[in-house]
Amino acid sequence: MNHQSDAVLTFKLYSCFQKIILVFLPGMLIVQTAIAQDNTAYHNGMVVCATPEASKVGLDILKKGGNAVDAAVTVQFALEVTHPEAGNIGGGGFMVYRANTGNTNTLDFREKAPARATTNMYLDSAGNVIPDMSISTHQASGVPGSVDGMVEAHNKYGSLKWASLVQPAIDLARNGFKISAKLASALNHNRGQFIKLNEGKNYLLKDGDWKEGDLLVQEDLAKTLELIRDNGRDGFYKGKVADELIAEMNKGNGLIAQTDLDNYHSVWRKALTGTYKGYKIIAMPPPSSGGIALLQLLHSVEPYSLKRMGHNADSTIRLMTEAERRVYADRSKYLGDPDFFKVPVDSLLNPAYIDSRMKSFSWSAATPSTSIEPGKFVGYESDQTTHYSIVDKQGNAVSITTTLNDSFGSKIFVSGAGFLLNNEMDDFSSKPGVPNMYGVTGGKANSIQPNKRMLSSMTPTIVEKNGKLFMVVGTPGGSTIITSVFQTILNVIEFNMDMQQAVSAKRIHHQWLPDDVETEREALDSTTINALQQKGYKVVSRGTIGRVDAILVTTDGYQGGADPRGDDTALGF
Ligand code: GLY
């Protein structure tokens, strides 16, 4: 293995290496996927993200001597151009950072409700939720945080000049890039909505269908990015781009005003930490539910020998499901923006509390979700996102998950500015107990209030082993984000998978309500499904779960895991 070799597309051709083994048994067909081993490891830096173009420009920054935060800024803007489903300047996200010294920090650049938002803004006069109002209207957008977040991260930790970090995205937007089959399909699929929700010419529409290899040029976006390159935060939150955003709002009773843009500021928050079998987990605190839920899940399963039970064995699925239903019940009641709601972080993470929650778990039968309620604390009142993982030569690590919420957000473009707006307001609870687009419910903790941040499931995470960097991990996937990160960590620590295997392995998900064990196709064989059904679990097959991009630090160097469910690409040098 040549650790000094030039950047190599670690897993773009993943599917070519896969061996599909078909096993015929009476009355059934089991499809097993032998996951190819690709243990290529690099010492000088690695970027894993949703598109090969963004991975490449991020890696170029590392090669020029930029650090992980420099590369993250470049990747964030390059994803806006090359991954319009979720890459964004019109959305928000979270960063978990670990310096090579071991110091940690997190940045909350989550969107906020506009000042004119109200608790019942999505309810009709009878008090019912108006379908789609929080999803595909101008009122669905929170105040974007991504540009402010990148400026803040760069001011604190960046080492190269800001302009040099934004320029690669400008070049990609102006010169265009050849789109993948998956992006062509996503653009064609959303064509009707783009036309319905927007007036006039639209940069993501063309005459006829998009095809793999078509060049996507985004001149309006290039000009917007130039303003951000030259003026930093003011290039987005003031002047031409801000005027265009507000003009867009005015077309559809949108609520974002210039004062919202002026007042938007991302927030540095102390990282949430916990342990799992001696590994230290560094995670995002609220307003993401991800960190708390991940730590609760890991603690819930820690007493058991998952290694002995086996990956995706029925006993493992039962254990994970029972932990997940209890954790998501807590999420529905206690998680929200800590600047507005007193989130009982210490109580939720108290080991004795988590152990008490698992006491009703029985190996003999499923616990129905109807019998599980959020925990009670004495004295207490009360698809589409994207992730990237980066490590530089010095061992500084960045784990960022960022989102427009739904695929292509609200599907509403800021006319003239060439970017999409988020529909993050749907992550609030529009009405207690009424599920949002991910089927999760909430109450007071996550009710809409002016200037409040909506609850998130985003779970950018860093894992340490023996005081040293071990893993950088995260994923998109709405409410399945938390359980996808949970399984990826277990795949490495418990099931001895390498990073790519851990990312590629099939996943399952349970979120309390609905009371279903959701499984990716071929995640479980029919014997396992039968065993689960006999114990009272409802197993529901669905499309893909998560799209994890992760880096593992091995004795050979950095090992990437790029999710084959997308165009995700790991590049190292
Ligand atoms: N919009 C998905 C999340 O933040 O959880």
Same domain (yes/no): 78, 202: yes
- DSSP string covering 220-252, please? HHHHHHHHHHHHTTHHHHSHHHHHHHHHHHHHT
Q: Residue 244 domain-assigned?
A: yes
**Tens-digit pLDDT profile for residues 487-529:** 999 999 999 999 999 999 999 999 999 999 999 999 999 999 9
**Which residue's C-alpha comes closest to atom 1 of ligand 1?**
405
Choose which residue among 420, 429, 481, 509 to substitute to test ligand 1 binding: the one with the highest number of ligand atoms within 8 A of its C-beta.
481
Same domain, 212 and 238: yes
The answer to the question of residue 32 being in a domain is: no
Ligand 1 atom index nearest CA of 406: 1
In the chain, helix, strand, coil percent, each to 5?
35, 20, 45
Kindly state whether residues 376 and 291 are assigned to the same domain. yes
Looking at 424, 446, 468, which one is the last position of a domain?
A: 446
Q: Which atom of ligand 1 is nearest to the CA of 426?
A: 1
Mean pLDDT of the chain: 92
Q: Which atom of ligand 1 has the smallest separation from the CA of 457?
A: 5
* pLDDT of 305 higher than 80: yes
Domain identity same for 58 and 182: yes
CA of residue 34 to ligand 1 center, whole Å = 32
Q: Which atom of ligand 1 is nearest the CA belonging to 479?
A: 5
CA of 386 to the centre of ligand 1 (A): 10
State residue 530's pLDDT score: 98
Place of tokens 């105040």: 143
pLDDT of 67-88, one tens digit each? Answer: 999 999 999 999 999 999 999 9
**What are the phi and psi torsion angles at 216 (to 5°)?**
-105, 110
Q: Which position has the token pair 């790991």?
A: 570
Per DSSP, the chain holds a count of helices (H) and strands (E) of 19, 23
Task: Kindly state whether residues 313 and 340 are assigned to the same domain.
Answer: yes
The pLDDT assigned to 38 comes to 53
Same domain membership, residue 249 and residue 285: no
Pocket of ligand 1 (CB under 6 A): 385, 403, 405, 427, 456-458, 478
Q: Does the pLDDT at position 32 exceed 60?
A: no
- 102, part of any domain: no
Bond into 344 cis (ω within 30): no
Let me know whether 335 and 436 are in one domain. Answer: no
Can you tell me the distance from the alpha carbon of 25 to that of 432, in angstroms, rounded to the nearest whole number? Answer: 48
Q: Which residues pair with 92 in a beta bridge?
A: 403
Confidence of residue 40 (pLDDT cuts 50, 70, 90): confident
Of residues 60, 77, 49, 176, the one with CA closest to residue 567: 49
Helices (H), 494-550: 499-504, 526-534
The yes-or-no answer on residue 224 being catalytic is no
Both structure tokens of 118: 């109200």
Question: Is residue 326 within a helix (H) or strand (E), and if so which, with residue range?
Answer: helix 314-334
Distance between Cα 289 and ligand 1 center (Å): 9
353 vs 351: CA distance, rounded Å: 5
Q: Are residues 249 and 127 in the same domain?
A: yes
Report pLDDT for 71: 98
Same domain, 340 and 424: no
Residues 6+ apart with CB under 8 A from 459: 283, 284, 288, 290, 291, 293, 294, 401, 474, 475, 481, 482, 485
pLDDT score at 380: 53
pLDDT of 376 reads 84
Strand partners, 301: none
Q: What is the pLDDT of residue 9?
A: 38
- Name the closest-CA residue to atom 4, ligand 1: 456
Q: What pLDDT sits at residue 25?
A: 31
Q: Per the structure block, which two tokens stand in for 518?
A: 């959701």
Q: So what's the pLDDT on residue 359?
A: 97
412, 446, 480 — which closes off a domain? 446
pLDDT in the model for residue 129: 97
Return the ∠ at Cα 450 (arms to 444 and 451), rounded to 5°.
105
Q: How far apart are CA 325 and CA 119, in angstroms?
A: 27
Closest CA to 573 of 49, 30, 62: 62
Q: Which residue's CA is minimally distant from atom 3 of ligand 1?
A: 456
Average pLDDT rounded to a whole number, residues 407-432: 96
Could you tell me if 150 and 275 lie in one domain?
A: no
Provide DSSP, 36-90.
PP---EESSEEEEES-HHHHHHHHHHHHTT--HHHHHHHHHHHHHHH-TTT--SS
pTM for the whole thing?
0.92
- Alpha-carbon span 331 to 427, nearest angstrom: 13
Q: What kind and span of H or E run contains 184?
A: helix 181-189
Identify the residue whose tokens are 């009355």: 27
pLDDT higher than 80, residue 14 = no
Q: Is residue 4 part of a domain?
A: no
CA of 7 to the centre of ligand 1 (A): 32
Count of CB atoms within 10 A of residue 268's CB?
A: 13
Q: What atom of ligand 1 comes closest to residue 454's alpha carbon?
A: 4
Residue 126 CB partners (closer than 8 Å, separation 6+) = none
**What average pLDDT does the segment 158-177 reach?**
98
pLDDT at 321 over 80: yes
> Of 446, 466, 490, which one is at a domain's C-terminal end?
446
In-domain check, residue 22: no
Residue 141 has what pLDDT?
98
CATH number at residue 541: 3.60.20.40
Instruction: Let me know if residue 198 belongs to a domain.
Output: yes
Q: Is residue 46 part of a domain?
A: no
**d(CA 446, ligand 1 centre) in Å:** 13
105 exposed, middle or buried (CB, 10 Å; 0-12, 13-18, 19+)? middle
97-152: per-residue pLDDT in tens? Answer: 999 999 999 999 999 999 999 999 999 999 999 999 999 999 999 999 999 999 99
Collect all residues with Cβ–Cβ distance below 8 Å to 250 and sequence separation of at least 6: none
Cα angle value 172/174/179 (rounded, 5°): 50
* 362-386 pLDDT, tens digit each: 999 999 999 999 998 765 544 689 9
User: Sign of dihedral through CA atoms 491, 495, 499, 502?
Assistant: negative
Q: What percent of the chain has pLDDT over 70?
A: 92
- Is the pLDDT score of 26 beyond 60? no
CA 478 – ligand 1 centroid, Å: 5
User: Per-residue pLDDT tens for 477-488?
Assistant: 999 999 999 999
Using one digit for the tens of pLDDT, what is the confidence trace for 205-227?
999 999 999 999 999 999 999 99
Q: Are residues 216 and 354 in the same domain?
A: no
Best residue among 294, 387, 424 to mutate for probing ligand 1, ranked by most atoms within 8 Å of CB: 424
Structure tokens of 298?
A: 């890991």
For range 177-185, the mean pLDDT = 97
Asked if residue 329 belongs to a domain, the reply is: yes
Is the distance from CB of 19 to CB of 34 less than 8 angstroms? yes
CA 405 to chain centre: 9
Structural domain count, the chain: 2
Are residues 239 and 132 part of one domain? yes
Structural domain containing residue 545: 269-383+458-572
